[in-house]
């Protein structure tokens, strides 16, 4: 056990690059076996205070550099211990520390599944307004409207959720009524990085992780106070066809963000707010949005800490469903011109961490996500419009125990309570769920890591039979050399239907949708083999082969009564491959990333292709730095989707809705770092859809026209 004596010491130091000896800003430092840690400031300096005297290991990590652990760090009273470390550069994205794959911190090369990481720099340089904007550049990920598709796992189903689980600091963040991801509830200003785990994650995370897991990691507080101010403004270019020009002048958008963080003794404080307005390039597709957030953390002792966070979204927007016709693709149907949606959503969460010893660690987490929305969209069931209020509460306790240097066991309990009050559209319903999970990671001889575990889920929706599911998984990682990692994994996934899928009673475009109390969970088996290899200090590559077997996929379809219901009608198989190549040249001034994903999404039931799954994704990104400037270019190719909702076209609901083309998009950006009154400032210009390429990203919806963004950011430290 740790010493509980009153004597305390301090570590101070500097982190720099071994290549050019330049200071590294934002490197993460963790004192293992404690809750103590920090990150480097603008000069690469750090300090960790209030450390009980003793012997520790100090771990330093940063994306683009090899993780370093300094052992036998002896802390005594008196003068602070001076530590200066240099990290070795490695090809980008080969050495980030990730926490999502196995619910603990580890190197990306140690996990048995494919994981991609988006860091804060990528979020900022692309002027990310909502997180799904940044996900459009992740290998194997495609966004249809606001629904995320990882390697073909999800198509599109309006207003009823997704097969990918969104987490915020490890806890589910889905709306209680529809099971949707509400991206606008997550302002990028509070995000440190985003981890994307591909393939079924139900063995650790339960329902909705059928196609993968996206975990938002929020920012930690540095030792020195920091204030960040960011403002941007932009405009959409007018379309070249006269019949498409529904407005007299170009539509504009603006945003402002302010955040502040600092430490006061053992207390850490983060607070921020943002205001974004977008007139919309499509008629009645505008929004007006406020986001605020705050986080308080307190180190009770060097071995236990507590944190509480709160975020709030208030949004009013128009509702563009489908275009009017090909001559008016930026205008909705006439009866949709006055449709409005108003929403308020907030999240309150807390966590408690305690290290019993260097080997035994426990965390307790609790989250309450409240969602309320209303619209004025009439239907025969609710002539004045619909509304819904939901509360989704989730709690979890997790323990990690390091039995030896070669074995770590993770065990946890979680539970959820879901309450929905939605008048005519969903009704009044409550749901309960509980789960137990266990995972064992063992390092075997010959540099082999074996991961095995599983999870038991029980779910009870009022008026519906109890649903239970056991989801096992097993994974292997073999490192024949420090530069090569080979992996294989098998896991089972499932997704319980959302309350919206079971109970929706509404009318959309003249089609009546009615409940189906007999819906069953969707189930899958996910298989993957792959590996990564660092060819030299400038080049790294990764290859994955995957297959998902899926049963009882839920799709809306006409029933024998002539009305549409959500039904378990699809048996599917998704196979594919993914390759990625990362290059660093010109002494790391030029960074290039290439990825290609091929997916064959087979509908076995109908001997066809699954809807809204493009088969080919090709992404290219380049970043050139020549201080104080940085130039970036992103290119995306997304093949033409084979299948859409043809019934909507045949019934005349979406005129010309079958018109679609492959997607070729090029985005460019230029930024410069300079100083104003002694303060560091970053200014940038982004041009998205540089070549004004017209495409539909969803049936009856034209993708964004060319748009220009100017932004200015200042950091006060």
Residues 622-663: pLDDT tens digits? 999 988 899 999 999 999 999 998 888 888 889 999 999 999
pLDDT value at residue 3: 44
pLDDT value at residue 6: 57
Number of H helices, E strands in the chain: 5, 45
Gap between the Cα atoms of 448 and 169, Å rounded: 29
- pTM here? 0.92
- Tell me the β-bridge partners of 316: 288, 342
> Contact, 641 vs 660, CB < 8 A?
yes
Q: Name the band, by pLDDT with cuts 50, 70 and 90, for residue 372.
A: very high
Specify the range with the lowest mean pLDDT, choosing from 18-27, 282-291, 598-607: 18-27
- Cα–Cα distance list, 459 to 419, 466, 520, 566 (Å): 14, 6, 12, 19
Residues 231-258: pLDDT tens digits? 999 999 999 999 999 999 999 999 999 9
72, HSE (Cβ side, Cα atoms, 13 Å) = 0
pLDDT value at residue 419: 95
Gap between the Cα atoms of 429 and 519, Å rounded: 15
pLDDT value at residue 423: 83
CATH number of 115-716: 2.40.170.20
Q: Name the band, by pLDDT with cuts 50, 70 and 90, for residue 353.
A: very high
Gap between the Cα atoms of 136 and 126, Å rounded: 11
689 contacts: CB under 8 Å, gap ≥ 6 = 665, 666, 667, 703, 704, 705, 706, 707
Residues 111-138: pLDDT tens digits? 889 989 888 888 888 888 888 888 999 9
Residues 43-93: pLDDT tens digits? 888 888 888 888 898 988 887 788 888 888 889 888 888 998 988 887 655
pLDDT value at residue 20: 80
Tokens representing 146 are: 């606001």
Tokens representing 278 are: 């977008």
In a 3-state reduction of DSSP, which class is residue 282? coil
| pLDDT over 70 at 8, yes or no | yes
The residue-averaged pLDDT of 152-167 equals 83
Instruction: Report CA torsion sign: 562, 567, 569, 573.
Output: positive
- Cα–Cα distance list, 517 to 462, 463, 498, 567 (Å): 11, 9, 11, 10
Residues 618-633: pLDDT tens digits? 999 999 998 889 999 9
Mean pLDDT, rounded, of the chain: 90
> Where do the domains of the chain lie?
8-89, 115-716
Gap between the Cα atoms of 3 and 56, Å rounded: 12
Residues 418-471: pLDDT tens digits? 999 998 899 999 999 999 999 999 999 989 999 999 999 999 988 788 888 899
pLDDT value at residue 368: 96
Q: In CATH, which superfamily holds the domain spanning 8-89?
A: Carboxypeptidase-like, regulatory domain (2.60.40.1120)
């Amino acid at each position: 056990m740790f010493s509980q004596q009153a004597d305390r010491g301090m570590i101070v130091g500097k982190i720099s690059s071994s290549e050019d000896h330049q200071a590294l800003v934002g490197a993460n430092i963790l004192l293992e076996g404690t809750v103590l840690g920090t990150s480097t400031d603008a000069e690469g300096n750090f300090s960790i205070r209030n450390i009980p005297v003793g012997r520790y290991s100090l771990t330093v990590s940063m994306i683009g550099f090899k993780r370093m652990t300094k052992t036998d760090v002896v802390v005594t009273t008196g003068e602070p211990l001076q530590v200066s470390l240099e990290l070795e550069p490695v090809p980008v994205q080969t050495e980030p520390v990730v926490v999502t794959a196995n619910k603990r911190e580890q190197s990306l090369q140690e996990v048995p599944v494919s994981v991609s990481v988006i860091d804060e720099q990528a979020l900022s340089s692309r002027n990310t307004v909502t997180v799904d904007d940044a996900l459009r550049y992740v290998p194997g990920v495609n966004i249809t409207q606001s629904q995320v598709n990882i390697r073909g796992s999800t198509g599109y189903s309006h207003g009823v959720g997704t097969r990918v689980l969104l987490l915020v600091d490890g806890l589910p963040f889905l709306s209680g009524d529809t099971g949707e991801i509400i991206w606008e509830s997550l302002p990028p200003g509070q995000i440190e990085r985003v981890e994307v785990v591909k393939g079924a994650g139900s063995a650790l995370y339960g329902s909705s992780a059928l196609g993968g897991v996206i975990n938002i990691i929020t920012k930690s507080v540095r030792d020195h106070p920091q204030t960040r101010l960011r403002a941007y403004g932009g405009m959409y270019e007018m379309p070249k066809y006269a019949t498409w020009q529904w407005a007299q002048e170009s539509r504009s958008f603006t945003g402002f963000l302010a955040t502040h963080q600092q430490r006061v003794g053992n207390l850490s404080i983060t607070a921020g707010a943002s205001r974004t307005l977008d007139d919309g390039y499509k008629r009645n597709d505008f929004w007006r949005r406020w986001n605020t957030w705050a986080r308080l953390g307190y180190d009770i002792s060097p071995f236990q800490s507590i944190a509480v966070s709160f975020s709030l979204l208030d949004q009013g927007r128009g509702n563009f469903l489908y275009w009017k016709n090909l001559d008016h693709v930026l205008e909705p149907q006439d009866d949709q011109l006055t449709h409005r949606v108003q929403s308020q959503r907030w999240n309150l969460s807390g966590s408690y961490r305690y290290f019993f010893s260097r080997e035994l660690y426990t965390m307790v987490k609790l989250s309450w996500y409240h969602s309320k929305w209303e619209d004025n969209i009439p239907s025969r069931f609710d002539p004045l419009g619909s509304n819904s209020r939901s509360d989704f509460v989730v709690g979890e306790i997790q323990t990690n125990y390091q039995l030896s240097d070669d074995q770590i066991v993770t065990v946890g309990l979680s539970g959820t309570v879901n309450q929905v009050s939605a008048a005519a559209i969903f009704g009044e319903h409550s749901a309960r769920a509980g789960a137990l999970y266990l995972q064992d990671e063992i390092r075997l001889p010959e540099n082999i890591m074996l991961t095995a575990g599983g999870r038991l889920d029980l779910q009870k929706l009022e008026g519906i039979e109890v649903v239970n599911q056991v989801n096992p998984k097993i994974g292997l990682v073999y490192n024949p050399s420090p530069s090569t990692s080979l992996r294989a994994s098998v896991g089972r996934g499932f997704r319980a239907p959302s309350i919206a899928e079971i109970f929706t009673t509404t009318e959309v475009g003249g089609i009546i949708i009615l409940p189906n109390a007999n819906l069953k969970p969707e189930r899958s088996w996910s298989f993957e083999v792959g590996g990564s290899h660092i060819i030299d200090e400038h080049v790294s590559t990764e290859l994955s082969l995957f297959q998902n077997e899926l049963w009882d996929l839920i799709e809306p379809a006409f029933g024998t009564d002539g009305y549409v219901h959500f039904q378990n009608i699809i048996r599917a198989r998704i196979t594919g491959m993914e390759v990625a190549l990362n290059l660093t040249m010109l002494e790391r001034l030029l960074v290039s990333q290439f990825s290609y994903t091929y997916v064959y999404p087979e509908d076995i039931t109908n001997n066809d292709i699954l809807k809204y799954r493009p088969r080919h994704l090709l992404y290219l990104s380049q970043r050139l730095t020549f201080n104080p400037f940085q130039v970036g270019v992103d290119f995306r190719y997304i093949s033409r989707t084979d299948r859409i909702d043809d019934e909507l076209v045949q019934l005349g609901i979406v005129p010309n809705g079958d018109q679609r083309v492959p997607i070729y998009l090029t985005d460019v950006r230029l930024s410069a770092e300079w100083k104003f009154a002694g303060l560091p400032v970053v200014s940038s210009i982004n041009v998205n859809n540089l070549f004004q390429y017209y495409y539909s990203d969803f049936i009856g919806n034209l993708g964004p026209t060319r748009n220009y963004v100017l932004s200015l950011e200042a950091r006060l430290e």
